[in-house]
Amino acid sequence: MTSPHEIVLASASPRRRELLQSVGISFAVVPSRAAEEVLPGETPEEHVIRLSKDKAREVADRPEAPGRWFIGSDTIVLRDDAILGKPEDVEDAALMLRSLSGRSHRVLSGYAVFDRRSGSTVAGVVSTVVRFKELTAEEIAGYIATGEPLDKAGAYAIQGIGAFMVLGIEGSYTNVVGLPLCEVVEVLERLGAVRLFEREE
């Protein structure tokens, strides 16, 4: 394992923090202040990869930030070609949930690991298909009343109460939570940042 300050998660997301902690990785948390606007002409995949890189670099470029490897990630919900971010208010959350009811959508997460020593970045994107059941007006109103949807992309949390809506997924579960753990850990191991399991001699 590495020192707790060699790897830095450039995110304030408690879900990303919990996912990394779940596999025993030691890291520091320094939330990124990178802007998260959508640029004209970029695809959803290009969007999440660019933001992931921007988040990692923004933190790495701060002289006071500790660490060598910086992890950035960005997650969006994609209904057809429309990007669903965090709802602006209760009405917006209800609109999103009604639009996802009874159908499938995609969750895209970009990830980037920036090595401050070499100046190189490894980045990628993971896509997961999520299928919702038909939601009643009462279910939508009741779920919104819990407050859970209001700070989540697409207005739901698969790891929370929102799990009641999910009929099934195709692909990575951790990707939907907010960080494609398998891919990120693989990159960290390949770069020599972590070794989850010591090899027997």
Number of other CB atoms surrounding residue 101 within 10 Å:
16
List all residues 6 or more positions away from 124 whose beta carbon is below 8 Å from its beta carbon: 49, 110, 111, 183, 187
Q: Which residue type does 119 have?
A: G
Q: Tokens for 196, please give them.
A: 């989850």
Residues near 99 by Cβ (< 8 Å), separated by ≥ 6? 79, 84
Choose among 63, 192, 59: nearest CA to 122. Answer: 192
The C-alpha atoms of residue 78 and residue 11 are separated, in whole angstroms, by: 21
Active site residues: 74
Distance CA 4, CA 49 (A): 25
User: How far is it, in rounded angstroms, from Cα 8 to Cα 2?
Assistant: 11
Paired residues of 39 in beta bridges:
none
